[in-house]
Amino acid sequence: MNMTKIAIITVNYNGKKDTLEFLESLGKLQTTNYKLRTIVVDNGSWDGSVSEIRKRFTEVDILQTGENLGFAGGYNRGVEYARIWGADYFLLINNDCLIKDSNLTSELVKTAQFDPKIGLVSPKIYFAPGFEFHRDRYKKQDSGRIIWYAGGRFDWDNIGSIHRGIDEVDKGQYDKVEEAEIISGACVLIKKEVMEKIAPPESGFDERYFLYFEDSDFVKRAKDNGFKTYYNGQVAVYHKVSSSTGIGSKITDYYHTRNRLIFGMQYGRLRTRFALVREAVKLLIFGRPVQRRGILDFYLGVTGNGNLASHLTSGNAEYPLKLSIGIVNYNTPDLTKKLLESIFNIDSGFRPSDMEVIVLDNGLTDPCKDVIKEFLPKIKYLQNQENEGFTKGYNKTIRFSLGEYYLMFNSDIEVLKNGISELVKAEDEFGGSAVLGGKLVFPDTSDQDSAFHLPTLSGAFKEYFLAQKGSYFMFLPDSPGRSQSPPPRWYKVEGLVMACLLIPRKILNRVGLLNEETFIFFEDIEYARRLKAFGIPIYFVPSAKFIHFHGGSTKRIGQEKANEHLIESSKHYHGKFYYFFLTLVLRLGQKFGRVKTPVCR
């Protein structure tokens, strides 16, 4: 029987001290009855958080977003990562919380399992000692027993959550396990079924909010999908209230003002919306500057971080790893094993200290797990029940990666001496601002064409009728006239095949993942076109060499099925109208042209 998997997810943004104390407190948790994985989503911190967490808590997965995505975006990335791991429950908890009870997770899970309709459960939450709103009101012995949240309700007239028991000394008056109208985003256990079913715009938290009201919006959508929210007063955590943003700070002022309007105007009653408009007008006249900005941004449609400069990343984000290598296996266990052997060869340039390998079995027809079992302790292994296609498979490995750079390998690649280190060294020189590919060779070490121009009608005509090699089909980049001495260290190209392609994380964040609208083929061309649109260069690095058993992975699909996918992907990329004329030029070229290469793109 499989053990229950619980992912503990927290978001850090330059909160090193709080995050380290939170992680230290996790040591109190009982972990005998379930598998636990702790994920810290770092939102582009520059305070040394990542290196310190990695040094002190080696078992923690640190997911670097590269920019400040707020609570909403940070939690979404963490949940996405945890879902790929296979989490049954997600414990989302602020980094300024501390664990009080060792049975916290087991009690929250027990409550969630009581009824299939229970989707979210929050514990009792105390003010952390010294963080109470009214410290002079309490006796010394009351410290650590002042309630911040013990269930509550949502005030739909004024658009805001009302915490039951806030500022009260706990005397057991809220110890029940019961349904609650609201949960607290500071600490909430969420069932995986909620994430699977919850409605758009996001599969998790709505990133328009950035922070504040993202939890209220999430609860509203969860309830609309038939889930119940519960409070468990038997267990508790401590919360350093407003430690991250500060009570009455500009950040709080701005996001609370703007997001209250976003939430209220979407879900509030007509009377409430009129009241919000009146209040907005009043704040525009008499409000503080950031409140006025929040009102204006709402009406201008500015969402997300709102470009609030004081709360954005400096661009110097730390990454826990330098490189992540993604491999998708589809019926090629023999080739996948060869690839792994070459990666872990001492001469490849792979460094176990700051690099990782992720292998995805894309379906169970001929999985590689048993064949590569000697590598399983050293790699991350994922498994799909069915073949989800090239792009979905590689995107899953990207989402489950932690490195500053992501290097995708087809399973029919073999790394030659210093292949990995040469690519990483070149990317470091580019400052992570380019996409790179290495030189591919056949098993006999003869050169293999791997670069291409984006396919056009004029390019097809030049290739077929004017015999200008490389105008349409793949080619091997070289210096002009082959006479340049010394030859360039790299060559700028329009596109490279994805058998071996290195993409920095910050480019993935900007351009996006692979296009999942096609099953296989044209993903390299589509991504190259997108990179060009964003002004991001692609370079061929001849010093990084790799054997490519060309077609070793795609031929397992079967020739007939492969041709169907090729035609389907070509129509999707070009559009039916352009595809028709391009196919016409290719057929005429086959019959009357000077080049007879039977290749279609």
Share of the chain above pLDDT 70, in %: 83
Residue whose C-alpha is closest to residue 22's, from 89, 78, 92: 92
541-569 pLDDT, tens digit per residue, is 999 999 999 765 555 555 555 555 455 65
Position 467 scores a pLDDT of 59
* Helix (H), strand (E) at residue 404: strand 403-410
46-85 pLDDT, tens digit per residue, is 999 999 999 999 999 999 999 899 999 999 999 999 999 9
Cα dihedral sign, 44-45-49-55: positive
Q: Which amino acid is at 519?
A: F
* Dihedral angle over CA of 141, 146, 150, 153, nearest 10: 150
CA distance 439 to 497: 10
Cα dihedral sign, 328-329-334-337: positive
Position 57 scores a pLDDT of 97
596 vs 351, more confident: 351
**Residue 539: pLDDT above 80?**
yes
**Residue 250: pLDDT above 90?**
no
CA distance 493 to 355: 27
Position 363 scores a pLDDT of 85
Distance of CA 283 to the CA centre of its chain: 37
572 and 525 Cβ atoms separated by less than 8 Å: no
Helix then strand then coil, % of the chain, to nearest 5: 35, 25, 40
Domain ranges of the chain: 4-239, 250-311, 321-591
CATH dotted code for 4-239? 3.90.550.60
Position 600 scores a pLDDT of 45
CA distance 601 to 596: 14
CATH dotted code for 321-591? 3.90.550.10
Q: Could you give phi then psi for residue 556, rounded to 5 degrees?
A: -70, -15
Question: Which single residue is written with the structure tokens 């932690």?
Answer: 402
436-476 pLDDT, tens digit per residue, is 999 999 999 999 988 988 876 565 555 565 555 655 567 88
Task: Tell me the helices (H) and strands (E) count for the chain, helix number first.
Answer: 17, 23
Instruction: Count CB-CB contacts under 10 A for residue 524.
Output: 20
Domains 4-239 and 321-591 alike in fold: yes
4 and 37 Cβ atoms separated by less than 8 Å: no
